[in-house]
Amino acid sequence: VLHYYCAGILEQVHGFRTDLTDRPLPDAEATWFTDGSSFVRDGHRYAGAAVVTETDT
Protein backbone atom coordinates (compact mmCIF):
# COMPACT_ATOMS: atom_id res chain seq x y z
CA VAL A 1 0.00 0.00 0.00
CA LEU A 2 1.41 3.37 -1.02
CA HIS A 3 0.84 6.33 1.26
CA TYR A 4 1.58 9.86 0.15
CA TYR A 5 0.73 13.47 0.89
CA CYS A 6 -1.00 14.68 -2.26
CA ALA A 7 -0.59 18.43 -1.65
CA GLY A 8 3.15 17.94 -1.13
CA ILE A 9 3.45 15.99 -4.36
CA LEU A 10 1.46 18.60 -6.29
CA GLU A 11 3.70 21.31 -4.84
CA GLN A 12 6.79 19.46 -6.09
CA VAL A 13 5.32 18.94 -9.55
CA HIS A 14 3.48 22.22 -10.08
CA GLY A 15 5.00 24.63 -7.51
CA PHE A 16 1.98 25.67 -5.43
CA ARG A 17 2.00 29.20 -4.07
CA THR A 18 2.89 29.37 -0.39
CA ASP A 19 0.71 32.47 0.16
CA LEU A 20 -2.52 30.50 -0.46
CA THR A 21 -4.47 29.09 2.49
CA ASP A 22 -7.46 26.80 3.07
CA ARG A 23 -9.46 29.53 4.84
CA PRO A 24 -12.16 31.50 2.99
CA LEU A 25 -11.78 35.21 2.42
CA PRO A 26 -14.38 37.20 4.38
CA ASP A 27 -15.45 39.36 1.39
CA ALA A 28 -15.11 36.76 -1.37
CA GLU A 29 -17.39 37.04 -4.41
CA ALA A 30 -16.99 33.32 -5.19
CA THR A 31 -16.07 30.11 -3.41
CA TRP A 32 -13.82 27.65 -5.22
CA PHE A 33 -13.09 24.08 -4.19
CA THR A 34 -9.98 22.10 -5.13
CA ASP A 35 -9.02 18.45 -5.21
CA GLY A 36 -5.84 16.79 -6.32
CA SER A 37 -4.42 13.36 -6.91
CA SER A 38 -1.26 11.66 -8.07
CA PHE A 39 -0.05 8.24 -9.13
CA VAL A 40 3.11 6.50 -10.29
CA ARG A 41 3.20 4.64 -13.61
CA ASP A 42 6.34 3.01 -14.97
CA GLY A 43 8.45 4.87 -12.41
CA HIS A 44 7.11 8.32 -13.34
CA ARG A 45 4.90 10.35 -11.02
CA TYR A 46 1.84 12.06 -12.49
CA ALA A 47 -0.15 14.65 -10.55
CA GLY A 48 -3.06 16.94 -11.21
CA ALA A 49 -5.71 19.07 -9.58
CA ALA A 50 -9.19 20.35 -10.32
CA VAL A 51 -10.85 23.62 -9.31
CA VAL A 52 -14.66 23.97 -9.27
CA THR A 53 -17.32 26.34 -7.93
CA GLU A 54 -20.44 25.45 -5.97
CA THR A 55 -22.48 25.30 -9.19
CA ASP A 56 -20.03 23.32 -11.36
CA THR A 57 -20.89 19.67 -11.89
Tens of pLDDT, residues 9-48: 766 666 666 677 778 888 888 888 888 888 889 999 898 8
For the chain, how big is the Rg over CA atoms in Å?
A: 14
Q: What is the pTM of this model?
A: 0.42
Strand partners, 47: 38
The residues spanned by each domain of the chain are: 6-20+29-53
Q: Indicate the SS3 state at residue 43.
A: coil
Handedness of CA 7, 8, 14, 15 (dihedral sign): positive
Start-to-end CA distance of the chain, whole Å, equals 31
